[in-house]
Every structure is written in C-alpha cells, then in structure tokens.
Amino acid sequence: MRFEDLAVWQRSARLCGEVFRLFRGSRDFGFKDQITRSALSISSNIAEGYERDSNPDRLRFLSYAKGSCAELRSQIYIGVDIGYIETAQGQRWAQETREISRMIHGLMNRFRR
C-alpha cells in the first residue's frame, strides 16, 4: 500500500487544501504562515513516516503528524476567536483534526505490533 491510499493521509491533505484556500488572500502573513505550515505538516509527516524503512522512524514521523494536528487545532481555535475563521468552519476543522489524530494513533499502534 502507498501512503496516498491511506484514508488518514487523504483526509489530512484535503484539510490542508481547505486551510490554504481560506488563507490564500490573508494579509496577516504571520498567522497565515503558521496555520498553513501546521496543516501541511500533518500530511507531509504521514507520508514521510509511512515511507520510512524502520518502525521507530515511522513512529517518530507519525508522532510529528499527531503533534501538528494539535498545533493546527490550537490555531483554529485562535483563528475563530480573532475572526479569521467562521465558527462553524472552525468547529468542523477542529473535529476533523481530532478524528485525524485518532487515525494517526491507530496507524501508530499498527506499527508498534
């Protein structure tokens, strides 16, 4: 199986695209850079981890992806609070990051066995 076939990678890549599209025209370059980097980091680290040759390497990169999920969720909450993200959109994205994080955890458990 390729990383592109993983539902968790597909969902994280789709979420990343949504974040990038929303912030495409933002002039707050600091916030835009931070939130888009954390979103991009999730799918990137899933891909990199999945392609690694050893389970310890896989687990390390999947752990980075899980951390980036939490980072993105934190930024979503802040984005909602400061009016950059509509509340309903923020709630959907926050829920998606929780689900992606659970999926990453499941993938990590598979590599631990």
Q: What is the C-alpha separation between 59 and 65, in angstroms, rounded?
A: 10
113 pLDDT band, cuts 50/70/90, is confident
pLDDT tens per residue, range 27-76: 999 999 999 999 999 999 999 999 999 999 999 999 999 999 999 999 99
Using the predicted structure, report yes or no on whether residue 106 has a pLDDT greater than 90: yes
Using the predicted structure, report yes or no on whether residue 94 has a pLDDT greater than 90: yes
The domains found in the chain, sorted by start residue, are: 3-112 (1.20.1440.60)
Q: Exposed, middle or buried: residue 15 (CB in 10 Å: 0-12, 13-18, 19+)?
A: buried
1 pLDDT band, cuts 50/70/90, is confident
